[in-house]
Chain A
């Protein structure tokens, strides 16, 4: 075969290829021309019998055609693919996705975990205690001496069982016994929290329950002041209710602290102006924020400096050690965070509610 014959065959292949109609299967075409035994492939292989110069010249022309063919094939493939997908039945993209089962943690767990994490960042370790408690830990060591009227402030459930001091076992009325148990087993500095169920013999209504959850935090060390307490609570509250949240202290009484304080948080609903917001149904009095009832503040925690009698009961020297303590109901936090108005909702265990978390 002369170089001219070779070139003639090449141009025939080109002509033939480009006369193939667009509907032809590009895969089959590729095989026919460029495949291992394809026409162009075979022709290119025949270059081996030519001189080096011819090889170079003819090879260039041949390879150019090869590239041209490949390009054409690629575009045929693309357009064919698009046509094919149009032909196939379409996915109904609006159908719902597969409903993988989705569970949830209880709002109280969610809230408690957030509180524990938040205070954990400030160095508070979590401690546990029993629900069935002894009078000593629940009352006496917390500066509620026997026959003290402050005991009337917490309606207590007693059990039909006696403890070592021949006092009735009781269901803890607050998480504060954990404070005593922790301090008795450790030397200062101690910075701890506890949370869990507590019990008070009260009628159930929208904001009371005879079983509820409390959290408690305390810190005993040298030179602890109420300023440390305020800073801690402010930091913690901002973590929960946003950097705009504010707190304020006012006098209050708990036997295990002195001075004692009630801690109010600026109302997260009305932004402390006490007015009913847009879209908010005013409850009670006209135009007033239904959550804080117009005061702009919400009572959230009790707090104070750990009482010297409590330190003495735990074997700490109140002249050397000082400390603060605070506590709150977790349900109240959960209700504010999730916008729940009735505490009973948290104990009905309606999956329509729980699954919203």
Chain B
């Protein structure tokens, strides 16, 4: 809420400075971001007239002026261009206090200046410079109205110095959404004396003009109405106009409209004035709208209403959306003289619903949604009537009615001082707590605390404890503990993910973090099924319209971003959720995905060419990261995800279950992201699946160490030629599994010169070892013969000579 400092001060004894106010109010939990100083902030500045202008003898751009304040003539140096003889100007005499400091006697280019002709800025005034002056830049003086008398204090000419600021008021402090309420808060919490606004009382005789009926007291708790006739002098008083303008409203100049806003920002009670001529049938009914009923609201919009909207209706039709906005046809007109002043209390959720349906948020709905003091309605209506009566002594109060069918009893809370101390972790004496409670509830006698009517937020002992802390200061909360020890349960997902992240990072990959929201185009660009994608109902923009169904799009974007910044090697990974619609619900799967492009090394090395990344780097990295997870293996996938290139993808398996894929990215996707080089490697791992194979218990997690042989091991290489169609994946299982064999590795693959075209040469290394002995040559030869026989039988292999 925008607050005008001087308005708050109206209700407090004088003397509170803005700095004090700011410190006091923020300590209570209100936020002030920045305060704007308004009005004139200067002393010893007077209206004066320019009598004569001459050129400065020593400076082309300066002028020498003679100015008169009526009783004295001053000689003054001036740099502004917009000065004229006969002009009225603000003149600061030597010793004047200006926002920038005290004006001292000075010689300017050899000529003594006996004061200063001021610009708006020099007086601390904002928004008073003419456009011509603003266009010219700094230095233009502020010309005054020619009819002003000479020698008048400038503070009489312009509004006095003041502060306007946006006060952040959280929903729990909504009882402070007015200037009076802020003053009351300071008075309660700091013992400042509160000054009540003038609330008149009127005699109320005679038959009611308007019959007021509330259909559902649960939605409308109270309705105070005052009928006032013959309001003729309708010009909004200047003080009211200035204040409303200062807090950012747009006063209309018609007091019948402006006074309702004024009293709302004064007391916090939303008020509406109807033109009595347009209330048909002599009645007001507070009811739910009928289906299909319409209203044109004050903002000029025609609205079709539903039964969920609460309205104020006359005998024929809705005349206002209750608590939200008045209707156009019953609004105040320039010739309105007779009014119905409405000051009601509506149920907060009912107003919120109406406001959402008609799509109008107003200062009124804002307050009703947050709750209004149930004791305020009649008081506020009388305040409005009182102000109007002061302006129009001839105006007649024709009706005062106050229907209050739904009363909420104020909360009565049994106070336990011990409980308050135990919530706060404080050791406050009883008297200190009681002082706070008495400040809020003057009737408090030591045991039962009754919440004041405006404090609907105080319902229980915890609410009261917070008030005690606010009253005394939050520093009353001590820092100490007697919390018992608790064992920390390991989070398997987190531990596992960190192992993967550390593994990938150690292999040179950097973790990225992307938005989870992407565009339809990105979904299409990575060939995902948009029909299964989870769509946002209220996206910020089409760029962030869907939840990611897969991770390649984000990583491709990161690749491009970095390539565009001169990088030629990009190795990244991300862990994130992917989403799909399953049975009408969002299905969330956590994944770890990576993308590799360019070179194995990040930077050039002086020893020569860098190695380009290929599939075997990716495979090697994943082998290293997943080492030890069940029996981790790569296998040909049954069906690879569509974002891999055909026949260029392997499935990652743990203990037989497919947990992910690695391979070349689909060239179609690569070209959709405007990249020409197809060597983009991608892998992804389903973390929900790997988690099943992740052992969290430390003892079980540890790999047992196998003993090694005391005897020398021996190795033999075998070079064979076989048909190109056989892959190592087929050959390997056939020749492993011999008990004497420690391991078998492919050390060379060769095709080309000296080899028939349809054949390839494999050099395979066999490492033999035994716990009992060193193998003899004879034994080794025999083992190798057996191996070769298998290759012969299965793959028609021949020895390479």
Contact = CB atoms under 8 A, between A and B. Distances in A.
Interface of A: 95-96, 98-106, 108-109, 113, 116, 120, 122-128, 130-132, 145-150, 153, 157-163, 168-169, 171, 189, 191, 197, 199, 201, 203, 210-211, 219, 221, 223-232, 234, 248-253, 255, 258-262, 305, 307-308, 322, 346-352, 354-355
A221 B512 CA distance: 38
A153 B537 CA distance: 19
A120 B488 contact: yes
A103 B510 contact: yes
Categorize the interface residue count of chain B: 35 or more
Given A104-B505, A225-B422, A250-B27, A349 B514 contact: yes
Given A103-B506, A253-B172, A160 B535 contact: yes
10 contacts: A103-B506, A124-B488, A149-B348, A157-B537, A171-B536, A191-B486, A231-B481, A251-B27, A251-B28, A252-B170
Given A102-B602, A346-B513, A349-B572, A116 B501 contact: no
A315 B603 CA distance: 58
A258 B603 contact: no
A324 to B, nearest CB: 9
A97 B131 CA distance: 66
Contacts of B584: 161-162
Given A125-B488, A259-B465, A105 B511 contact: yes
A308 B26 CA distance: 26
B16 interface: no
Contact of B423 (A105, A150, A210, A259): A259
Contacts of B579: 132
B264 to A, nearest CB: 17
Nearest to B544: A210
Given A225-B423, A250-B29, A159 B534 contact: yes
Contact of B571 (A103, A262, A347): A103
A95 B604 CA distance: 12
A227 B535 contact: no
Contacts of A98: 605
B537 A168 contact: yes
A231 B501 contact: no
Nearest to B365: A149
Contacts of A131: 516, 577, 588
Given A230-B477, A251-B474, A126 B494 contact: yes
A171 B485 CA distance: 35
A173 to B, nearest CB: 13
B324 interface: no
B491 A125 contact: yes
B484 interface: yes
Contacts of B220: none
Given A105-B511, A150-B171, 18 more contacts: A99-B603, A103-B504, A103-B505, A103-B506, A103-B511, A109-B501, A123-B485, A123-B486, A125-B489, A147-B353, A157-B539, A189-B486, A210-B540, A248-B475, A251-B27, A251-B28, A255-B171, A260-B466
Given A96-B606, A230-B478, A258-B463, A354 B534 contact: no
A292 to B, nearest CB: 15
Interface in B503-540: 504-517, 534-540
Q: Is the interface of B mostly helix, strand, loop or mixed?
A: mixed
Q: Is the interface of A mostly helix, strand, loop or mixed?
A: mixed
Interface in B391-432: 422-426
Interface string B543-578: 010010000000000100110010100111000010
B425 A348 contact: no
A355 B572 CA distance: 11
Contacts of B465: 258-259
Contacts of B509: 103
A105 B487 CA distance: 28
Given A105-B511, A132-B579, A226 B477 contact: yes
A123 B174 CA distance: 38
B349 interface: yes
Which of B469, B487, B601 has the most C-beta atoms of chain A within 10 angstroms of its own C-beta?
B469
B102 interface: no
B352 A149 contact: yes
B692 interface: no
Nearest to A357: B510
B627 interface: no
B570 A351 contact: yes
A103 B424 contact: no
Which of A108, A150, A228 has the most C-beta atoms of chain B within 10 angstroms of its own C-beta?
A228
B9 interface: no
B202 interface: no
Nearest to A170: B537
Interface of B: 26-29, 170-174, 348-349, 352-353, 369-370, 422-426, 460, 462-463, 465-466, 469-470, 474-475, 477-489, 491, 493-494, 498, 501-502, 504-517, 534-540, 544, 547, 558, 561-562, 565, 567, 570-572, 577, 579, 581, 584-586, 588, 600-603, 605-606
A113 B498 contact: yes
A227 B480 contact: yes
A259 B535 contact: no
Contacts of A234: 479
Closest 9 CB pairs of A and B: A227-B425, A101-B508, A251-B29, A259-B466, A225-B425, A147-B349, A123-B486, A103-B505, A253-B170
Contacts of A255: 171
A330 to B, nearest CB: 11
Which of A103, A171, A191 has the most C-beta atoms of chain B within 10 angstroms of its own C-beta?
A103
A40 to B, nearest CB: 38
A130 B493 contact: no
Contacts of A158: 536-538
A352 to B, nearest CB: 7
Contacts of B460: 308
Given A98-B605, A125-B488, A104 B511 contact: yes
Nearest to A122: B483
B505 A105 contact: yes
A228 B504 contact: no
Nearest to B474: A249
Contacts of A199: 516-517
B477 A249 contact: yes
Given A103-B509, A132-B547, A169 B424 contact: no
Contacts of A352: 565, 567
Which of A124, A163, A305 has the most C-beta atoms of chain B within 10 angstroms of its own C-beta?
A305
Contact of B602 (A101, A125, A210, A229): A101
A303 B136 CA distance: 52
Given A131-B516, A147-B349, A258-B462, A161 B567 contact: no
A127 B136 CA distance: 63
Contacts of A127: 491
B173 to A, nearest CB: 7
A224 B423 CA distance: 7
Nearest to A223: B422
B561 A123 contact: no
A123 B506 CA distance: 30
Nearest to B371: A149
Which of A106, A260, A349 has the most C-beta atoms of chain B within 10 angstroms of its own C-beta?
A349
Nearest to B513: A106
B569 to A, nearest CB: 9
A284 to B, nearest CB: 11
B558 A349 contact: yes
Given A230-B478, A258-B466, A161 B544 contact: no
A228 B483 contact: yes
Given A228-B483, A248-B475, A348 B423 contact: no
A197 B511 contact: no
B138 to A, nearest CB: 19
A122 B606 CA distance: 50
Nearest to B498: A113
A160 B547 CA distance: 11
A203 B606 CA distance: 47
A351 B572 CA distance: 9
A96 B603 CA distance: 11
